[in-house]
């Protein structure tokens, strides 16, 4: 089986958060399982661009990939050469897997594939959830009516990474073709030395270390985290907050002044490489996510894999945290977030048990090998014309 993956941005463009990592992880696992995998993407890398690929393409982490140069309007990830290359090569593949919505890369790819005998699957990657559609709402409403709905209707399958994303697809009328399959995570090859990140921060081993890991973006609601952490500091003045992740849309300059009164207890690291990320997680007391919406949230799995209790708001699809007992799934309010942060900090034995349960869940349910096997099953069903569950 040969599958072409099309995505507006791909590794190592990790400035865009989870999708470049999870698409890479899926491609690696599929290839390991015997699927022929190619990736068509753009040169997008935030404010800068990668070099365009030669005609024969590039290889990233063992995956064959072609980076096509962006052209005007760059912000919508338009790559004219990508469409031409896809038109010339689409029939070399059994299936095309498109990731994301609301950009020219997706639109041009789907337009080409729809005029071919090759079926395609779309993974919206959270871009149809309420939090995403509320951002630039009027533009997306117009694009949905003119382009996106037809693209979704014509897809053979629609892939949701969480129950809430599956519900969003069903609400749009796509229950007959939508299926759910989670993202996976890449475990570190070696466990980082304990306290290595704390030493860098000059934070003692006994001080509570609260961690946020993700893009710095309005939908991540760092304003709520700021208020919640401020409340925690009044009860636990030795606590320290780390905000790690790339600056998206230059949002740092807007949100950092809100944290100024807490500056002595807050560290902004910027984007971290894999080694530093895992070192931070292994030194953390608790991980927090309070986004307006998430299709999945791979950093939650990574925190659990590191044995860290997680606090996730109910606007994110992580009821499993509550069911398994590896953290708290709470209302999206500063009071609710602060309350459970304090509980975790003040109950280290119970927190350690939460971390242990989370580690088991992450390794049991979110390994890439099992996810790739399930995705291959969906590919085979698509090619044989079997309907989605």
pLDDT tens track for 265-319:
999 999 998 899 999 999 999 999 999 988 788 899 999 999 999 999 999 989 9
CATH of the domain at 43: 3.40.50.2000
User: By percentage, how much of the chain surpasses pLDDT 70?
Assistant: 99
> Residue 60: helix, strand or coil by DSSP?
strand
Distance CA 76, CA 108 (A): 12
In a domain, 283, yes or no: yes
Cα torsion at 374, 378, 383, 385 (round to 10°)? 140
Note the pLDDT tens digit of each residue in 192-220: 777 889 999 999 989 999 999 999 999 99
Note the pLDDT tens digit of each residue in 338-377: 999 999 999 999 999 999 999 999 988 899 998 999 999 9
In a domain, 189, yes or no: no
In a domain, 295, yes or no: yes
Residues 80 and 146 grouped into a single domain: yes
In a domain, 190, yes or no: no
In a domain, 251, yes or no: yes
Residues 173 and 149 grouped into a single domain: yes
Residues 120 and 264 grouped into a single domain: no
Confidence of residue 388 (pLDDT cuts 50, 70, 90): low
Token pair belonging to 57: 């393409």
Residues 301 and 332 grouped into a single domain: yes
What is residue 389's predicted lDDT score, i.e. its pLDDT?
Answer: 59
Confidence of residue 179 (pLDDT cuts 50, 70, 90): very high
Residues 345 and 304 grouped into a single domain: yes
Contact call for residues 131 and 291 (beta carbons, < 8 A): yes
Contact call for residues 342 and 159 (beta carbons, < 8 A): no
How many beta carbons lie within 10 A of that of residue 130, not counting itself? 12
47-65 in b/e burial notation, b at 16+ Cβ within 10 A?
eeebeebeeeeeebeebbb
Chain centroid to CA 267: 23
What is residue 387's predicted lDDT score, i.e. its pLDDT?
Answer: 61
Residues 265 and 203 grouped into a single domain: yes
Distance CA 80, CA 35 (A): 28
| Close Cβ partners of 141 (under 8 Å, ≥ 6 residues apart) | 133
| Close Cβ partners of 259 (under 8 Å, ≥ 6 residues apart) | 226, 266
Distance CA 158, CA 29 (A): 20
Give the 3-state secondary structure of 164-233. HHHHHHHHCCCCCCEEECCCCCCCCCCCCCCCHHHHHHCCCCCCCEEEEECCECHHHCHHHHHHHHHHHH
In a domain, 389, yes or no: no
Note the pLDDT tens digit of each residue in 68-79: 999 887 888 999
Q: Domain residues for 312?
A: 196-365
Extended strands (E) in the chain: 2-7, 36-42, 44-45, 48-49, 58-60, 63-68, 95-99, 120-123, 157-160, 178-180, 209-213, 240-244, 266-270, 286-289, 310-313, 327-330
Mean pLDDT of the chain: 93
H or E stretch including 107?
Answer: helix 104-114
**Mean pLDDT in residue range 140-152:** 91
357 - beta bridge partners?
none
Residues 296 and 378 grouped into a single domain: no
Cα torsion at 153, 158, 160, 163 (round to 10°)? 70
Residues 164 and 137 grouped into a single domain: yes
Note the pLDDT tens digit of each residue in 10-41: 999 988 888 899 999 999 999 999 999 999 99
| Local structure of residue 317 (DSSP, 8 states) | S
Residues 240 and 358 grouped into a single domain: yes
Contact call for residues 206 and 225 (beta carbons, < 8 A): no
Cα–Cα separations (whole angstroms), residue 387 to 175, 177, 180, 228, 329: 10, 7, 14, 46, 34
Residues 70 and 204 grouped into a single domain: no
Residues 203 and 119 grouped into a single domain: no
Q: How many domains does the chain have?
A: 2
Residues 374 and 361 grouped into a single domain: no
């Amino acid at each position: 089986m040969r599958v072409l993956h099309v995505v507006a941005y791909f590794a190592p463009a990790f400035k865009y958060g989870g999708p470049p990592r999870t698409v890479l992880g899926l491609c690696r696992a599929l290839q390991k399982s015997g699927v022929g995998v190619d990736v068509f993407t753009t040169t997008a890398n935030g404010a800068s661009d990668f070099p365009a690929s030669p005609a024969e393409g590039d290889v990233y982490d063992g995956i064959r990939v072609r980076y096509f140069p962006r052209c005007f309007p760059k912000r919508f990830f338009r790559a004219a050469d990508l469409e031409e290359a896809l038109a010339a090569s689409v029939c070399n593949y059994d299936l095309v897997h498109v990731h994301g919505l609301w950009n020219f890369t997706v639109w041009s790819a789907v337009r080409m594939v729809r005029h071919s005998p090759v079926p395609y699957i779309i993974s919206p990657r959270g871009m149809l959830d309420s939090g995403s559609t509320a951002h630039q709402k009027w533009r997306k409403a117009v694009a949905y009516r003119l382009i996106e709905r037809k693209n979704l209707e014509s897809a053979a399958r629609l892939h949701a990474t969480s129950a809430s994303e599956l519900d969003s697809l069903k609400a749009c009328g796509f229950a007959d073709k939508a299926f759910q399959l989670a993202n996976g995570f890449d475990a570190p090859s070696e466990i980082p030395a304990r306290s290595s990140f704390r030493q860098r921060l000059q934070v003692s081993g006994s001080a509570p270390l609260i961690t946020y890991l993700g893009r710095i973006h309005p939908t991540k609601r760092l304003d709520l985290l700021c208020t919640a952490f401020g409340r925690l500091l009044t009860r636990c003045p030795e606590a320290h907050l780390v905000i790690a992740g790339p600056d998206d849309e230059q949002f740092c300059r807007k949100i950092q002044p809100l944290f100024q009164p807490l500056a002595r207890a807050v560290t902004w690291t910027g984007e971290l490489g894999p080694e530093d990320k895992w070192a931070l997680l292994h030194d953390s007391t608790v991980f927090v996510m309070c986004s307006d919406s998430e299709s999945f949230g791979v950093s939650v799995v990574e925190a659990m894999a590191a044995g860290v209790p997680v606090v996730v708001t109910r606007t994110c699809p992580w009821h499993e945290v509550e069911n398994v007992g590896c953290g708290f799934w709470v209302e999206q309010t500063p009071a609710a977030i602060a309350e459970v942060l304090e509980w975790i900090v003040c109950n280290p034995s119970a927190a350690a048990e939460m971390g242990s349960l989370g580690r088991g869940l992450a390794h049991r349910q979110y390994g890439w090998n099992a996810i790739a096997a399930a995705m291959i099953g969906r590919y085979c069903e698509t090619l044989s014309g079997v309907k989605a569950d």
